Amino acid sequence: MNLSDRPRRLRATPAMRELVAETSVEARHLITPHFVVEGSGVKEEIGSMPGVFHVTPDTLIEEVEADLDLGLKTHLMFGIPDHKDATGSGAVADNNVVMRAVSGLKQKFGDDVITVTDVCLCAFTDHGHCGFVKDGRILNDPSVEQLAKMALTHARAGVDIVSPSDMMDGRVGAIRELLDENDYTDTSILAYSAKYASAYYGPFRDTCDSAPQGDRKSYQMDVRNSREAVLETILDLQEGADMVMVKPALAYLDIITRVRAEALCPVVCYNVSGEYSLVKNAAAAGLVDEAAMVRENLLAMRRAGSDLIITYHGREALQKGWI
């Protein structure tokens, strides 16, 4: 055959493939989530998410210390309080579980660790919604006021990045304004800009005991839409977001690519609980090569345009040399 172009030349050996690889996944690209509960001395595996644990602020320090040795420097914390009420008052209470987690990490590790906190009311409300509820409706503006106060409590604890995940209109601007008014101008905002009303969140809601009464389709995005993701991203950036996020990841790689094309800031995606548990369960059943699948999934997210990935796979992937 007389072929001038033979692309296989650059795939001939492992060394050659490594030489021309366009995409990589490294520890610095990964953000590790943690589920922090009240009390002390707790490290309990979550049944629906093998290898993921409920921890208390003290055992969180041990987990993060081990992660730092692997190069995992960025850690996202979700607070799970004992007390829940209609307004999520625990989210803005002094010395709540999230504040203790953040302050403990910063006291121990200083700037060697980057702390991120989830800003949302769902884990703190008895109805499981991300905002205030009246007559079955989710109230936007009163919810935004509470969310901004929640972000301020995290800033007071020393958090590096607050991450509003509620999908209320205007919450990024309200958070930025309140942080700046209180001299927390250096606290960054990672906005969940394109968060879809997805079926992939099941294990997470079980983990946080935050399944809503009804659903969240009146504020989270419709899975059928893509232009809306661009609009939400533009609005969040106009309001002061420093980074933007797409959630979930695998079923929304096209959205990651669209957001990447519009945003000059870092783009983050969330490799969510359902995506994680599907891989874990398939691997446990002997149906897939877990290492190869995790690597392929993470590479796909990076290839689509994500600068950073929130994932539950990070620790194991690094420990076992999958990436």
Annotated active-site positions, please? 195, 247
With 0-12 / 13-18 / 19 or more C-beta atoms within 10 angstroms meaning exposed / middle / buried, residue 160 is buried
E runs forming strands in 15-124: 30-37, 43-46, 49-55, 74-80, 114-119
- Going by C-alpha positions, the residue among 46, 23, 73 that lies closest to residue 315 is 73
User: Which positions ≥6 away from 152 have C-beta within 8 Å?
Assistant: 178, 179, 182, 184
Q: For the chain, how are helix, strand and coil distributed in percent, rounded to 5?
A: 45, 20, 35
- Structural contact between residues 258 and 229, judged by C-beta atoms closer than 8 angstroms: yes
Alpha carbon 147 to its chain centroid, in Å, reads 17
Distance (Å, rounded) from C-alpha 262 to C-alpha 58? 41
Q: Which of left, alpha, beta for 83 (phi over 0: left; psi -120 to 50: alpha)?
A: beta
